[in-house]
Structure 1
Amino acid sequence: MGQGRSRGGRGRGRRGGVAPLPEPGAPVLPVGEAALRGLREEGARRGGRFRGLRARGEADRADPPARRRGHHDALAGELLHLLADGRRHHLQRHRLPQRRPALEAGPDHLGGQLQAGPAETHRLRQKDRRRRRGKEFPYDHLVLAVGAQPNFFGIEGVEEHCLTMKGVADAERIRNRVIERFEDATLADGDVPDSSLTFAVIGGGSTGVETAAEIDALITDALAPDYPSIRRDRVKVILLTRGAEILPELDPALRRAARARLAARNVEVLTSAAAERVEAGRVVLKDGREIETENAIWTAGGRPNELLKTLDLPLTERDGVIVDEYLRVADRPGLWSLGDCAAIPNVLAGSEKERFVPPTAQAAVQQGYAAAENVLAALDGREEDLEPFEYRPMGQLVELGSEFAVNEVLGVRFSGLLAVLVWRATYLYKLESPRGKAAVAADWILGLFFRPAAAEIRRDD
């Protein structure tokens, strides 16, 4: 583990060294990844020591999470591109940069799983795979940002029979499932049930819409030319939403544009189609309709990480950590929370429906900066300088294939190829790593001239 140092004349860190444990009584701040970005400049200027611990729940052990979204999230959008084009270095772009900025800025960065003791002890223990007991870390302030996991709402059969769209591994599983169905149909000379070639995406939000569009892109652009024996009209992509419209968070004109694009891409949209249960070969809707499919994909919701229930924290009825407008956990001095796992009051809410900040990527980034400033103020004893968090949405971007998107940015609504260019420019801007920016841009340019590969992605483990 490398020792990160501040930029204040002491060097940029050393390779191969082992970071010493903090001096007794020295302030140690495990922080969430979003908060780390906000702490970077201040931590470097002060020459302070921030020990960054990436706390992840059991479900997030292997994969970077695709954020639970009511709106669009750039990382999740790129995971969907992985579904369609299968380039494996998508896996690297969101992991490697996390350590490097931390080392350059001054904080230590430790990857691993953590066990928390009672809140009043202000101690964490890092699990060590090679030892029975891992290292123990005291802290003055702890920022919880452990993310979310899929929410199945107690619907029978969803967890057993549905694929989910949460992270890189999920995108790979969906891609592999589609390719496997084409392989099976080819080996059987087409003698497979229609349910084998029907892909039902449950959830009409941005994740569901983009997932359906990318599955169709994989089928149309990559698989159909390589499997000519399978008639295209036998392969169906169906998008199910319980509401009257898809993308309810968007302007009606953009919703209509998105639905027209899906229709042009052979994606069937069924509205008012709430799932009652999911079986191995079908999805049964509450109105009695049945969708014959062996390939159901669940994108209809998320919930805070189950890890929170083990930490003796004040939680809402939906299991989000209760925090105040300053992101402080109720009745837990020195404890803060942000992101998908926190129920953050929306101080600018115009209605009861908007009383909590939505669990989106852009909200989490803003919370990271706010939490960093407030933690620093608390460390300095400047309680009067704590600032309430005010969420200010910048817009929504939803891509449907490589040539069409619907966007609403700062009140301006537009769709089509221009929207795609804006979406991709925004994504490149948000990437921290210059190498990642170059790799993504190269992917997109190559995609203009070459067909995506129709190959399964298998992990070594």
Structure 2
Amino acid sequence: MTRILIVGGGYVGMYTALRLQRRLPPGVARITIVDADSYMTYQPFLPEAAAGNLEPRHVVVPLRAVLPGCDIVAGVATEVNTARRTVRVQPHAGEGYELPYDLLVYAPGSVSRLLPIPGLAECGIGFKTVEEAIHLRNQVLGQLDLAVSTRDPRVRRRALTFVFVGGGYAGVEALAELQDMAYGACKYFPTVEPSDMRWVLVEATGRILPEVGEDMGRWTLQQLRAGGIDVRLETRLVSAENRHIVLDDGDEFDAGTLVWTAGVRPNPLVRASDLPRDEKDRVKVTPRLNVEGMREVFSAGDCAAVPDLTRPGQYCGPSAQHAVRQARTMADNIVATLRREPLRDYRHAYAGSVATLGLHKGVAQVRGVKVRGFPAWFIHRAYHLSRVPTLNRKVRVVVDWTLALFFPRDITSLGALSEPRKEFESAARPFGVAGDDREGEKVREPASVRAE
């Protein structure tokens, strides 16, 4: 059988494998997927998961369940050798090994694009994974607990200050949903009023949500400011040391929460491969989604420089809309390669953009039609519900939304999730045992802790 190896279990990897499963007869190919986590995260629903509208487990799709005909390897592809047609895999424990392939799909995706800002790595958190969404929810609720419990006004003021850097989809949606959740939770915190909180959105350019157009971006800006959010345009974060925020407009203040959503960059694993890269470390691919000069290697998604044939000279942006469509084209081209048929180019038709601004509020531009308010919020939910993989997840999402109509959001802060062994280690100290320092034993932490 032809050995098809897929590096990355995100949008591109999972949807490519799904389509190959459907199109290839049994016994033709053996498909293997390598990813650090054995699930795909549906990122457009992360803001709702963070705000408590959705159960976090319902926004992830287990690869082993949806791809029963594929081999799933939980590990990291640390090296790609196209001359030998092998990929070196490092599992979470034990020695690494090489996996051979006949056809390779290289799609490790992207990571947060960080800048060398003092204190950012120590105090900030991204918003790309379900683990980060869970942590951020616990963080916001935990800060409300702290504000109620402390008698130090400086500590209280810092706890009730929340800063988001980046005015794209992730930053605006996460901020709006979490602010909505925090305002709703105030009735359970008698000494905290919505006016006591400070929500700040920092954006380096002169506009937010460029994906929905300039007019709708301005309307969104007005809505955010009317809702009590301090939006700073053409402003940059200078420092965040010791949670002391310094902006280049001269303002300084303390903040208990700092969320970084200022763009993404290709996964650093791309550098570990011998695939051709451009100046932004993206894999160079042709319009047919095979790597330049390599008919047996394909790439797409956030890590690839995919030519945008609808805009000559430009490349497709790092969005889920592109990733899903590219996966479909790439799977068809892999089938064509096996059948020695001609490959087709990836060419997309822009469908539009949708964004949520909290409960019952949204903004959308669908095929040139501009929609805002409740209709846009409804379109956002309907569109993404149709795109969530598997009927199982669709039903669970609908059930979560239905329950939310009758019951308020849960306000439990499970802050101990970030240190699940802390209490156990504390109990072990009288016996001279110090957690992971025990000789001959190393406990591997779950993905949620590793992400933090």
The residue that corresponds to 1:445 in the other structure is: 402
The residue that corresponds to 1:20 in the other structure is: none
| 1:198 and 2:198 are equivalent in the alignment | no
Partner Cα distance (1:184, 1:128) in 2:
39
Listed one character per residue, the Cα deviations across residues 429-456 of structure 1 (whole Å, up to 9, x for unaligned) are 1122222111111111111221101112
Is this contact kept in 2: 1:86–1:453, CA < 8 A? no
Is this contact kept in 2: 1:145–1:337, CA < 8 A? yes
- Whichever structure has more strand as a proportion of its residues is 2
Partner Cα distance (1:449, 1:253) in 2:
35
Partner Cα distance (1:283, 1:145) in 2:
36
The residue that corresponds to 1:80 in the other structure is: 47
Report the Cα offset of residue 101 of structure 1: 3.4
Q: Indicate the RMSD between aligned Cα atoms, in angstroms.
A: 2.3
| 1:364 and 2:345 are equivalent in the alignment | no
2:20 to 39, 51, 75: 39
Report the Cα offset of residue 311 of structure 1: 1.3
The amino acid across from 1:419 in the alignment is A
Is this contact kept in 1: 2:286–2:307, CA < 8 A? yes
Partner Cα distance (2:80, 2:188) in 1:
55
The aligned runs of 1:250-399 (5 Å cut-off) are 250-349=212-311, 355-382=314-341, 385-399=342-356
Is this contact kept in 2: 1:216–1:265, CA < 8 A? no
Partner Cα distance (1:206, 1:423) in 2:
12
Secondary structure at 2:138's aligned position in 1?
A: helix
**Shift in CA distance, 438/407, structure 1 to aligned 2, threshold 3 Å:** same
The residue that corresponds to 2:118 in the other structure is: 156
The residue that corresponds to 1:220 in the other structure is: 183
Report the Cα offset of residue 133 of structure 1: 5.3
The residue that corresponds to 2:56 in the other structure is: 90
**Shift in CA distance, 251/158, structure 1 to aligned 2, threshold 3 Å:** same
Partner Cα distance (2:333, 2:71) in 1:
20
The residue that corresponds to 1:402 in the other structure is: 359
| 1:54 and 2:54 are equivalent in the alignment | no
Partner Cα distance (1:182, 1:407) in 2:
32
Report the Cα offset of residue 153 of structure 1: 3.0
The residue that corresponds to 1:71 in the other structure is: none
**Shift in CA distance, 427/36, structure 1 to aligned 2, threshold 3 Å:** same
Bigger shift: residues 316-325 or 29-38: 29-38
Secondary structure at 2:3's aligned position in 1?
A: coil
The residue that corresponds to 2:441 in the other structure is: none
Partner Cα distance (2:17, 2:258) in 1:
37
The amino acid across from 1:366 in the alignment is R
Report the Cα offset of residue 140 of structure 1: 1.0
Secondary structure at 2:33's aligned position in 1?
A: strand
The aligned runs of 1:241-256 (5 Å cut-off) are 241-256=203-218
The aligned runs of 1:12-161 (5 Å cut-off) are 26-31=1-6, 32-44=13-25, 48-56=28-36, 61=37, 64=40, 75-85=42-52, 89-96=55-62, 98-103=63-68, 106-128=69-91, 131-132=94-95, 134=97, 136-161=98-123
Partner Cα distance (1:443, 1:333) in 2:
45
Report the Cα offset of residue 125 of structure 1: 4.4
**Shift in CA distance, 185/63, structure 1 to aligned 2, threshold 3 Å:** farther
**Shift in CA distance, 30/92, structure 1 to aligned 2, threshold 3 Å:** farther
Partner Cα distance (1:238, 1:341) in 2:
30
Partner Cα distance (1:332, 1:125) in 2:
19
Secondary structure at 1:154's aligned position in 2?
A: coil
Partner Cα distance (2:91, 2:203) in 1:
44
Partner Cα distance (2:77, 2:29) in 1:
20
**Shift in CA distance, 202/300, structure 1 to aligned 2, threshold 3 Å:** same
Report the Cα offset of residue 109 of structure 1: 4.2
Listed one character per residue, the Cα deviations across residues 102-121 of structure 1 (whole Å, up to 9, x for unaligned) are 22xx4444444334452111
**Structure 2 stretches of 5 or more lacking a match?**
7-12, 421-444, 446-452
Partner Cα distance (1:115, 1:274) in 2:
34
Report the Cα offset of residue 47 of structure 1: 5.0
Partner Cα distance (1:287, 1:235) in 2:
21
Is this contact kept in 1: 2:58–2:397, CA < 8 A? no
Partner Cα distance (1:270, 1:34) in 2:
38
Report the Cα offset of residue 220 of structure 1: 0.7
Structure-2-length-normalised TM-score: 0.84
Partner Cα distance (1:120, 1:278) in 2:
45
Secondary structure at 1:124's aligned position in 2?
A: strand
Is this contact kept in 2: 1:43–1:107, CA < 8 A? no
Report the Cα offset of residue 335 of structure 1: 1.3
Is this contact kept in 1: 2:164–2:202, CA < 8 A? yes
Partner Cα distance (1:237, 1:64) in 2:
31
Listed one character per residue, the Cα deviations across residues 226-280 of structure 1 (whole Å, up to 9, x for unaligned) are 1111233221111111121211232233223322322343222111112223222
**Shift in CA distance, 190/77, structure 1 to aligned 2, threshold 3 Å:** farther
